[in-house]
């Protein structure tokens, strides 16, 4: 019997942000479950020069201050992405700023990069890493120099990360998404890369960029062009959407902020497939948005994802989701004759 089948309904009676904070504190105190069986060998994969025991990661936003990444790895995630972290601590947007759309298996948030800053994250990331840990970085809301903010985060946190993510796609920080334009994005990536090389003389971690799902066709082409001609090692597709698909039922559906969860699956997967096409499969992609089953994960992989991430479904289903996705994904790979994840990446384009 899964104990979280009893705990989760109780947690969901709490206000969403309070429930999240309580969950993080419980995990930090050691109350999280541990993986009970080794990963299927078919799930092993190598991306960005890193060896992943399985392709399923925990997306940024859950562990903003890098407090529980060790606990998440123990649960069975193949990697964990912490953050988003900004140079200086900031409170984020006014509450309430997190809303459960339970009828839609979705969440709307307008958190606004609330976090304790790079020094707190650095303390929490110090020490041996028992698995792959990424750090998602952003700019402070009121900064006068966004490029300098990303470089500062890279210099401080790069030596403590297996990969670094430039977040220019959250809808909850004014002006942030404008940084996805080719000139601004190139400046940020170049500055981040220089800062990483100085901070990590023995080898810098790869730089990824997380993009929005609400991109025009020209935006997509521009980002693909920058990705293929710069220090970008991969793209994360995609962040939350400002769109509101028809059919949302929750009373919270009109709240401002980024929508995540099941309604994001189709548009984010379409974008994923398009970015795979536009980059010629030469830039590794992480698929995120609406994954709630092994079948969803497999569709992302076939669309072009080398790795996948979950967040919203994890909030609703709890830790049992991790093993379920991995088991279902391994079965689907074998049913189609694939020996490993890599062999299935982009299969729908063949």
Look-up: residue for tokens 């997306």? 59
Just list the catalytic residues. 170
**Sheet with 106-109, edge to edge strand ranges:** 98-101, 106-109, 258-261
* Torsion angles phi and psi, residue 65, rounded to 5: -105, 20
| 3 state DSSP class of 166 | strand
Return the C-alpha torsion angle 160, 69, 171, 298, nearest 10.
110
Distance CA 249, CA 251 (A): 7
Following DSSP, what letter does each residue of 211-270 receive, concatenated? E-S---HHHHHHHHHHHHTSSEEEEEE---BS---TT--STTTT-SSEEEEGGGHHHHHH
Look-up: residue for tokens 């901070």? 199
Instruction: Pick left, alpha or beta for residue 37 (phi over 0 → left; psi -120 to 50 → alpha; otherwise beta).
Output: beta
Q: How far is CA 254 from the centre of its chain?
A: 24
Q: How far is CA 136 from the centre of its chain?
A: 8
Distance CA 216, CA 228 (A): 19
Q: What separation in angstroms does the CA of 57 have from each of 18, 69, 221, 295?
A: 24, 11, 27, 16
Task: For 180-213, give the secondary structure using H, E and C.
Answer: HCHHHHHHHHHHHHHHHHHHCCCCCCCEEEEECC
Q: What separation in angstroms does the CA of 29 have from each of 26, 57, 67, 135, 313?
A: 5, 21, 10, 22, 23
Return the C-alpha torsion angle 107, 273, 222, 135, nearest 10.
50
Beta partners for residue 137, in sequence order: 85, 166
């Amino acid at each position: 019997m899964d104990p979280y089948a009893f705990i989760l309904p109780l947690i969901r009676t709490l206000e969403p942000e309070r429930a999240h904070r309580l969950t993080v504190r419980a995990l930090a105190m050691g109350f999280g479950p541990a993986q009970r069986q080794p990963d299927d060998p078919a799930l092993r994969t190598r991306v960005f020069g890193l060896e992943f025991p399985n392709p399923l990661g925990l997306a940024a936003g859950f562990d903003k201050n890098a407090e529980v990444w060790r606990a998440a790895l123990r649960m069975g995630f193949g990697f964990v992405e912490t953050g988003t972290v900004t140079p200086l601590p900031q409170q984020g947007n006014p509450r309430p700023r997190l809303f459960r759309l339970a009828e839609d298996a979705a969440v709307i948030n307008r958190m606004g990069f609330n976090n304790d800053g790079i020094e707190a994250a650095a303390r929490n990331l110090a020490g041996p890493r028992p698995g792959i840990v990424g750090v998602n970085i952003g700019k402070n809301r009121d900064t006068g120099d966004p490029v300098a903010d990303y470089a500062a985060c890279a210099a401080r946190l790069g030596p403590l990360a297996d990969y670094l993510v430039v977040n220019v796609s959250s809808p909850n920080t004014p002006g942030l998404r404008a940084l996805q334009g080719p000139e601004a994005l190139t400046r940020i990536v170049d500055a981040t890369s220089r800062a990483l090389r100085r901070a990590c003389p023995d080898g810098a971690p790869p730089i990824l960029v997380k993009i929005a799902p609400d991109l025009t066709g020209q935006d997509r082409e521009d980002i693909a062009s920058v990705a293929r001609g710069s220090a970008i090692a991969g793209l994360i597709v995609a962040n939350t959407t400002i769109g509101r698909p028809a059919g949302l039922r929750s009373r919270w559906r009109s709240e401002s902020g980024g929508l995540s969860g099941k309604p994001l699956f189709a548009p984010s997967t379409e974008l994923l497939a398009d970015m795979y096409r536009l980059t010629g499969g030469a830039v590794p992609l992480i698929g995120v948005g609406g994954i709630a089953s092994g079948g969803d994960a497999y569709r992302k992989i076939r669309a072009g994802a080398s790795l996948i991430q979950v967040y919203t479904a994890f909030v609703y289903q709890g830790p049992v989701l991790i093993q379920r996705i991995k088991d279902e994904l391994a079965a689907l790979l074998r049913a189609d004759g694939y020996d490993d994840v890599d062999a299935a990446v982009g299969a729908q384009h063949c």
